[in-house]
Structure formats: C-alpha cells, structure tokens
Structure 1
Amino acid sequence: MTKLRLAIVGAGPAGIYAADILLKAERQFDVSIDLFEQLPAPYGLVRYGVAPDHPRIKGIVNALRDVLDSGDIRFFGNVLFGRDLTLADLKNHYHAVVFSTGAIRDADLDIPGIDALGSYGAADFVSWFDGHPDFPREWPLDAESVAVIGNGNVALDVSRMLAKHAEDLLPTEIPDNVFAGLSESRVTDVHVFGRRGPAQVKFTPLELRELGELRDVDMVVYDEDFDYDEASKVAIASNKQVMVIDRVLQAWRKRPSVNNAGGEASRRLHLHFWANPVEVKKDADGRVMSFVYERTRPDGEGGVEGTGEMREVAIQAMYRAVGYFGSPLADVPFDKRHGVIPNQEGQVLHKDSNERVPGVYATGWIKRGPVGLIGHTKSDAMETVRHIINDQASWWQPEDDSEGAIPALLAERDVKWTDLDGWHLLDQHEIALGAPHERARIKVVDRDEMVRVSRGE
C-alpha cells in the first residue's frame, strides 16, 4: 500500500486538527505525520494567545493532547522552518507539507502618532502575559490611563488583563515575571474604543460578561452610545448573541459608576462606541499623551460615517487590537496585502500565476486570515485534508522518506529539538512548580530552560 509521509509546520490547533482529521479519514494509503513547531512546546495560540484567566478555553488543550498522545504523530519542537529545516529538505523527505503557522503579528493601524513611545500592539502584550519565550520578560505598566483600540475578543482580553488586580490571577498559570509586572501596574482607567455601535461589536457575550465580574473594577458605559438606529434594533431582535450583549450593556448602564458619579472601585473600565481613531498625540519626549477620535454614526447601510466631531482623551499608553496578521515563510508564496499564503481551498497557489504549487498546502489563519474560532479551524482542516487525499498524483517524490531521516538531519545540524516525551516532562515540571502555591502551573518562560527540561538535561 502507498504511504503518505506528511510534514505539518505549526503545532497549534490548526496543525493538530489537520493531523487528526487525516488520520481518521477514509483513504487508500497509510499515513505517517511529523509535526514541526518553532517553540519547544505545542498548542500555539492556545498556550500563547489566550489570557491565563480563561480556563474554559484552555480546556481545548485536553482535546489537542489526546490527538498528540494517540501515538500516530511525531512532534519536533524548537525547530524553526527556514533556518533549521527548509522547503527543499521537506521535498527530500516527505510527499507533501501543510503550513499551519497562524498569524501572530499585529495588524497595522495607520494613524498619525501610532509610533509614539507607549503605543503597543495587543499581540505583543498578549505574548508577554502568556510567557512567550521570544518576548521581553518585562513590560512597562507605568500608565494610569490607557486606551485599547478594537471591539473584538483580543481587545477585551487586553483590557481585562490591564484592569484586573494581579492577585486575582494567582490561581491561573500566569508566569512569575508577569505577576510581578502586573503587581506594579499603576493603571486606574482603561478606555476601550470601537468604530461602530454596541450592536455591531465582534466580541462574544461570555467575554463581555466576564468584564463585569472583575473585583474592584467599575464598568463605565455612556448613555449617548445607546441611541440605536433601526438596523441596530433589528440586530438585537433577530440575533441571540447580539441580544445577550445588549442585555449585559443595558444592565451596566443601571449600575453605580463613574457615568453617574456613584462608582467606588479603584479601577474603571470604560467602553466607548462610535469612535473612529484619528491620532495619537505625543508629548515633548515622544510619549503617548492623548488619543483623538472622531464620533461616528450609522450610515444607513450597515456601516458608519464620520460626524466631524473630534474628541480627545488623555492617556499615557495605547494598545491597538485591530486584528492579527500572518508572516511570510521562506520559499513559500505569500500575499503581503492580506497576510496569508495564497491558496484555493488550502491548495497553495503561485502568487503571480495562480497556478497550484504541488505538494504544498495551508490551513488555519495563515490560510484564511485571523477570523473564526476553533470550529472554523476544524472545517478549514477538513477542506485542506480532502485535497491532500485527492491530489495523490501530484505529491512530491522524496529521495529518502524513511522515519529516521529527519532526526538524523536535525542532529547533523545540531538542532536541539524537543519531542512529545519532552513536552510531557515540561508539562509535569510546570504543574509541579505551581503545586506548592496552589496554582494550576507556573509556566516556564525561558526558551533554554524549556529545552533543558524537555530534553532531561
């Protein structure tokens, strides 16, 4: 029987789901899968892109662990595609490759002053508080008033982490350096700005509701934002998710808060709608001084238009949470405008000719852009896997597809890769670090230490 040797680059949910779906699919050939990840540990954005106080979402790890522990997939961590392993290497040793490298950079926000000191991308902040090994250990949290631009779940994650008291994060897997940094935070006010109205937000009801449960944090909303147009009323009446969001916001309007001078909390989280970013003003030292926005209103066609009314809020730091963006990969076509690998249903295309690139596939955010939740990732992978199975005639013809070829190649290049047993060692080590403190785990942040623990050195 023919055997498919498949490489998957990227060990987040997209890559792991693709492997699982292929292994379970009806096919006329055997399958052997190697999963490559540039970090020493698997799970991608589930480990490094989800706020540590989200144990329900972290539960996805259990499903991913079951797939990896099935014994049908080899894991090679701490292997960087383009440096430790190239596309030519993959062609020599596999019949096809799936890229599932996600999107971890911040999308740009093109307004004057966005380069000010104290202006940050949300993705960088998330990587810091999730203990990503390739980001600085310290984060400046000396601002008292902070702006967060965006109305999606990432904006709410960032806002919640800024407003939440550090000690309330201790039951989670927050790294020690992050707890120390947040403990020193001087924040009193977090302002969240969205271009459209309350009925058009992109976050989920669960994320929104969690904001109102923060200890010693007042939720502040503004009555002027709730003069709904007909389209908003229809959305609330016809969409259950929008209806729940509206109920949460309406309940906050009735709470004692800064909005009606009754709040007593030491921190406040303000939600501003109908606010289009215009400029970040700098002080004489080039630091963030204020945020200027234009009030918007519905345009009658589902969008917004400017009113010409400018407003300014004094802040000392700003986070843009306006979306993620993919990164190019060596020798792989890349669409710079959209931040994705050009593809047709997961079959990678040449950038200029739109002809198929045989043997090369994509899934997840690097395939479709940073939209959709885990359910989308699974259907995405199914689509890509279907083509891999049907494209047998155009698979690569490797020179050496033996199981031992890749470990030998990595050893020859002195790559200190980690494997699945190593991940289990690191996992147990982090849980053991947390146990004496009654914490879920204490995440190891230093890459070299992650590798040492994983390799039993």
Structure 2
Amino acid sequence: MSTPSVFVFNPIRSVLKTKCSRTAKFTGLRRLASTTDPHPRVCVIGGGPAGFYTAQHLLKSHPAVQVDIYERLPIPFGLVRFGVAPDHPEVKNVINTFTQTAQHKRCSFYGNVRVGKDVSVKELQQAYHAVVLSYGAEGNRRLGIPGEDLTGVYPAKDFVGWYNGLPSNKDLKPDLSSETAVILGQGNVALDVARILLSPLDILKKTDITQSSLDALAASKVRRVLIVGRRGPLQVACTIKELREMVNLPGTRPDMEAREFQGIAEALKDLPRPRKRLTELMIKTAQQNPAAEGAAPRQWGFRFLRSPVEVLPTSDLRKAAGIRLAINQLEGSGEHARAVATGEVEDIECGMVINSIGYRSLPIDPAVPFDPHRAIIPNMMGRVPQAAGLYCSGWVKRGPTGVIATTMTDSFDTARSLIQDMETGALEISAVKPGSQAIAPLLLKRGVRPVSFSAWEKIDAEEMKRGKSVGKPREKLLDVEEMLKAAHS
C-alpha cells in the first residue's frame, strides 16, 4: 500500500503564487514590479485603425500600461470614417471596438493635436516611455506623366475623401460633366470609386455620404467608367466581393473586351481558390452579351495591359480631354509577371481621370527616420532602429496595402514587440514619466485645445441628429471649426 500524500496549506505561499500567476498572465514577466514604473506610459500617434488596434493590444496585454492616442483631426477612426465606402456600413462596425478601447480607464484620446507641428516627437519621447507612430498614409502616389495636373485629374484618395467628408477634401468640386471616366488602378479603392460614380441615387441616399457629394452626383453626366490596369486579368488587385458588387450594381452593364481573356480559362486549374473564383467571375462577366442586358443606362469595364502615358488636354490646355495608354505585354506569369510596353498606344476620350495607384506615407517629424523611396518608417517588427522607445504600426510601417484585418494583425505585432521590450529590459521603464501631464501645458501655451473622446461624442451626436432629419444614418460635419464648436458646446 502506498503512503498517502500530505497536503499542508500555506496561506502566504498561496497568495504569492496567485499574485505571481496573475502577473504572468497579464505581462508574461519574470521580474519584480517594484523595480519599474508601475504605470508605463505609451503614446500612440494616429487615431485610425492602426492606432486603435495597437492601443487595444497594449491595454489587454499589460495590467498597468497607460495609453494616450493623439490624432490631428478632432474626430477619431481615420480611414474607417474617411476611406470605407459609404455603402459598406458593415465594415464600419469596427468603430464599436475602437470606442471600447477609447473608453478604457487606462486610455485617453486627444484629437485636434498635430504631432510635428503642435508638439514634436522629441517632446513626446521625453514625456512617455514609448511612442508608436501609427499615422497612416495621407499622401498620394503620383503618376509622373504629362497632363497629370490638369483639371479633371484627381487622386483617388482625394476623391474618396470628398464623398466621405474629409475636411481637407470638402472643396474638391470634381468635374462630372463628361460621359466617360477612366480610373487608373484595379484595386478595391478603384472599384469603390467606380461604384460610387455609377450607383443609383436611391442607394446612396441611405448612406452617410455627404450631402454636397450627393448633390454633385445627382447632376453627374458620367455614364461609363473604365478601370485600367497595367497587367492582365490574373494580376487584378481587387477582391471578389468588390467585383461582385460591380456585377450586381443596378442600372449598369459590363463593358469588357472578351479578347483580353483569351487563354485565361486554361490557367484556372493552377490558381489558388480565391484567385480562381475571382477570375471565373471576370470571365463569366466578359462573356455576357451586352444586348441581353436591356437598356441599362450605365456601363463599367476593366481594361487590361495598359499603362498611362499622357493625359490629353482640351484645346485651351486647361482640362483633361482624354488619356493616352501604352499597350503592354506580360513577361513571366502569375504574381511576378511584368508589364512591358509594346510600342503601341491607345487614346481614350474622357473628361475625368482618377489615379488609384496607391497612397503614400509622409515624414512627420525630423526626429523620425523615414525612407523616402519606400515611403515608410524603417523598422524591424515595428521597432525603429537606433531610436530606443520609438515604434510604428500600420501603413507607415509596411506601406499602404491590405484591409483593416491586415492592419489589425500588423498592429498587434508591433504591440507585442513593445511588450517584449518591456519584459526584457530593452525598453527602459524604470523612470517615472509624466505622459499627458507634461504635454497638456505645452499645448495650452501654443493655443491648442485638444478634443477628448467624450467631446468627440458630442460631434457624433450632432452628426446623427442632422442625418436623422434627412433620413440618413448621419450627416458629417465637414469643417474643423464647426467640429470644434460642437465638441466644446
């Protein structure tokens, strides 16, 4: 018979074990809390998805970290508010998660603060243990061709900002007087723009699109939208969801060139499933008989293997009258195929050209390293080299690619790097830092009045009130001064 084991309860030992396990659960640390600042302070620059996801993971992963989010506009949420198409309200539901983060007891939001102008990154570094740059990509990639600056040529970012109520784009006044519009680029943003240009007003009236944009689209003469890409159908950058929305858009019919899909069907069996389904839908759409579509008044279509050479001007050299495209052929296959000009060109008559070849991050402060060629902050897993305590997440970290879910994963990775640096001692957190208590007096002295999250909620309430009066989910305030007036009412 075996000897029974004896259990002796030690209350002190039990308490210590419980306390240690909780510490490990929250931080994964094997260090004494008394050797460090009990409240590590982290500053996040940028109130868009990258900023909020970074803050969310930091708050979840550390029991004492305090996070302050600084945003240049009086309003939060970045591209969720200003980039997501108004007819995609389900994508904006992530705002509910961001609101929970902003209302966390260890998180504060400071809108209307322009980092690099109202306060420097060095000043923030002095006040916080760590600074995370998550300010996105507010610049435009240029085409670099003659005629790019003519009236009627617009970056997609500005056009999207116009119909989504971005204050800096509220006065865009795009010229919608021509029948044909050409969009350069075949990603999801390009299809968003095409869909907004061609959508029936009855659909748009139920969204949070700005009233001024709705009025302009009501008077639009645009009836045909061509979506141009430099490579072929197998390299198109949009997703099947966006393509399906175009195919099913009421009052429109596809305008595709079947010859551009010759030989594509034979390649289907070797494609990954998402790419295969997308390509199958394109082929099916291209094979439709336009005559069988009835009298649909509006058309859209892809044009492949074409690169912009020049925007052709009107006789007075002021406005866009057309675009000259180089005809390409592919060298290689799949994602690595290269477009090579054949020497042939094609001219398309159009009065509107929208450049949707991508966004671009900009330098924020001389103290922050920046790669002008790649338009990102150089980093290793979110850590900025030779800059202790400086991190980055989102588009300014990896470039303007991916969807919101991609940004979430990327931002969580940066937060994990920061937490790991706290654990290993690579990030010094032993000294007490004042955080916003040091920044607030600087802003006050410089005439800057930050907008808290509760003050943003006043703006939010005013927008929903205005929207309700006209049967919309919200009517966005377009002017920063008007936002500030509502916030501080």
TM-score of the pair, normalised by structure 1: 0.91
Equivalent residues in 2 for 1:133-212, closer than 5 Å: 133-137=167-171, 138-212=173-247
Corresponding residue of 1:17: 53
How much does 1:208 deviate? 0.8
How much does 1:247 deviate? 2.9
Query: What is the CA deviation profile of residues 409-435 of structure 1, one whole-angstrom value per residue up to 9, with x for unaligned ones?
Result: 322322121111012111122112112
Corresponding residue of 1:55: 89
Counterpart of 2:474, as a letter, is R
**Given that residues 129 and 433 in structure 2 are in contact (C-alpha distance below 8 angstroms), is that contact kept between their aligned partners in structure 1?**
no
**Given that residues 7 and 36 in structure 1 are in contact (C-alpha distance below 8 angstroms), is that contact kept between their aligned partners in structure 2?**
yes
Corresponding residue of 1:78: 112
**Given that residues 233 and 261 in structure 2 are in contact (C-alpha distance below 8 angstroms), is that contact kept between their aligned partners in structure 1?**
yes
Within the alignment, does 1:442 sit opposite 2:475 as a pair?
yes
Q: Equivalents in 2 of 1:50, 1:329: separation in Å?
A: 24
**Given that residues 91 and 398 in structure 1 are in contact (C-alpha distance below 8 angstroms), is that contact kept between their aligned partners in structure 2?**
no
Equivalent residues in 2 for 1:388-399, closer than 5 Å: 388-392=418-422, 393=425, 394-395=427-428
What is the DSSP-based 3-state SS (H/G/I as helix, E as strand, rest coil) of the residue aligned with 2:389?
A: strand
Q: Equivalents in 1 of 2:330, 2:295: separation in Å?
A: 34
Q: Equivalents in 1 of 2:238, 2:55: separation in Å?
A: 29
Q: Equivalents in 1 of 2:358, 2:399: separation in Å?
A: 10
Give 1:298's match in structure 2, choosing from 330, 334, 346.
330
How much does 1:384 deviate? 1.6
Give 1:110's match in structure 2, choosing from 144, 160, 172.
144
Equivalent residues in 2 for 1:275-294, closer than 5 Å: 275-286=306-317, 287-294=319-326
- Name the CA shift for 1:104/1:46 in 2 (closer, same or farther; >3 Å): same
How much does 1:100 deviate? 0.2
**Given that residues 131 and 444 in structure 1 are in contact (C-alpha distance below 8 angstroms), is that contact kept between their aligned partners in structure 2?**
yes
**Given that residues 256 and 263 in structure 1 are in contact (C-alpha distance below 8 angstroms), is that contact kept between their aligned partners in structure 2?**
no
Query: What is the CA deviation profile of residues 372-402 of structure 1, one whole-angstrom value per residue up to 9, with x for unaligned ones?
Result: 2223212212222222223344447878515
Counterpart of 2:118, as a letter, is D
Corresponding residue of 1:409: 442
Q: Equivalents in 2 of 1:136, 1:157: separation in Å?
A: 18
How much does 1:123 deviate? 0.6
Coordinate RMSD, CA, aligned: 2.1
**Given that residues 128 and 135 in structure 1 are in contact (C-alpha distance below 8 angstroms), is that contact kept between their aligned partners in structure 2?**
yes
Corresponding residue of 2:98: 64
- Name the CA shift for 1:89/1:149 in 2 (closer, same or farther; >3 Å): same
Q: Equivalents in 2 of 1:378, 1:402: separation in Å?
A: 25
- Name the CA shift for 1:261/1:278 in 2 (closer, same or farther; >3 Å): farther
Corresponding residue of 2:299: 268
**Given that residues 43 and 131 in structure 2 are in contact (C-alpha distance below 8 angstroms), is that contact kept between their aligned partners in structure 1?**
yes
**Given that residues 90 and 97 in structure 1 are in contact (C-alpha distance below 8 angstroms), is that contact kept between their aligned partners in structure 2?**
yes
Choose 422-431 or 30-39, whichever is displaced more. 422-431
Query: What is the CA deviation profile of residues 301-323 of structure 1, one whole-angstrom value per residue up to 9, with x for unaligned ones?
Result: 43333333321111111011001
Greater Rg over alpha carbons, structure = 2
Counterpart of 1:20, as a letter, is Q
**Given that residues 124 and 439 in structure 2 are in contact (C-alpha distance below 8 angstroms), is that contact kept between their aligned partners in structure 1?**
no
Counterpart of 1:269, as a letter, is W
- Name the CA shift for 1:40/1:235 in 2 (closer, same or farther; >3 Å): farther
Within the alignment, does 1:241 sit opposite 2:297 as a pair?
no
- Name the CA shift for 1:399/1:92 in 2 (closer, same or farther; >3 Å): farther
Q: Equivalents in 1 of 2:220, 2:212: separation in Å?
A: 13
Q: Equivalents in 2 of 1:396, 1:325: separation in Å?
A: 33
Q: Equivalents in 2 of 1:239, 1:22: separation in Å?
A: 35
Q: Equivalents in 1 of 2:289, 2:469: separation in Å?
A: 40
Q: % of aligned pairs identical? A: 34
- Name the CA shift for 1:358/1:265 in 2 (closer, same or farther; >3 Å): same
Q: Equivalents in 2 of 1:307, 1:263: separation in Å?
A: 37
Q: Equivalents in 1 of 2:84, 2:270: separation in Å?
A: 31
Choose 245-254 or 91-100, whichever is displaced more. 245-254
**Given that residues 9 and 15 in structure 1 are in contact (C-alpha distance below 8 angstroms), is that contact kept between their aligned partners in structure 2?**
yes
Choose 166-175 or 260-269, whichever is displaced more. 260-269
TM-score of the pair, normalised by structure 2: 0.86
Corresponding residue of 2:484: 451
What is the DSSP-based 3-state SS (H/G/I as helix, E as strand, rest coil) of the residue aligned with 1:378?
A: helix
**Given that residues 41 and 77 in structure 1 are in contact (C-alpha distance below 8 angstroms), is that contact kept between their aligned partners in structure 2?**
yes
